[in-house]
Structure 1
Amino acid sequence: HTMLLISVCLPVFQYDWFAWVPNSPSTMRKPPPTQKGQVDMKYIMESLPDRGRASWHLGAVWALSQFQDEELFLGVYPDNYFTDQPALEATKTFREKLVEVTNIIKSRNEKLKLPYWYLSPDRIPNSVAI
């Protein structure tokens, strides 16, 4: 489920999750344990990527998490591929629902010390361009 969520909201969520290298190390220097109870902090630290690889990982994650200058967000379709009335109505309804969800998230965030923007439609790119 985590990977599906990450792929849906890549830029919004990616850096916050992947910048902490132990959450998703780009490589491991030791094999995974084969039995429970074999791992201690020393083994974990020796397994995580070295500084060079971790720095490369952070740079790549940072670059991939940036929005483009002219980013199109969820529900924004500059080209009119559909002209029939049912499709236009469905698009209008979809956009209205996205505004409702965005407003709910904004309202909830007003009460939080640390706002939670993940999956807010106004911060989810319309597509992934890597």
Structure 2
Amino acid sequence: YQKRYPVRWHLKEIHGYEAEKITYNYENVQRQVGNESFTQSVYLKSISDNYNSTVQFNYEKKFLEEYQEPILNDGDGNLKLSSTFGQYLKNIIITTRVNIQTIEFKYQLQNQIRQLVALSQLEDTDQDPILAFSYKDYD
């Protein structure tokens, strides 16, 4: 008989002095194996405060070539729990009382690895990214 147990903790709330509060919300991806299920991965979905400001995190599915699904049973039939992150961060939407800002993450695939190459602000009239990244090949 197998039993579920926590292997990670995720921050839920922070409280300040003057009743300030920051709340973290997550999305759990469940995986079914036989009659049992487990949390395969956890994604931060949003951060909000009691002043109606939010940061929303949006993800897209990775290509199957980018990650390997874990083998879930050992030789004795026990579940082997392995985190698999099948999504990548696509954009962040920052909402305040006076502004909405979208930061888009741009990637390139190199040897089946997703590499961050640029951050762009969608509301910006300048088409150049706000940050750009490059990588060196090491053989």
Category of TM-score, reference length = shorter chain = under 0.3
Highest RCO, 1 vs 2 (Cα 8 Å, sep ≥ 6): 1
Normalised by the size of structure 1, how large is the TM-score? 0.25
The structure where helix makes up a greater share of residues is 1
Higher strand fraction: Structure 1 or Structure 2? 2
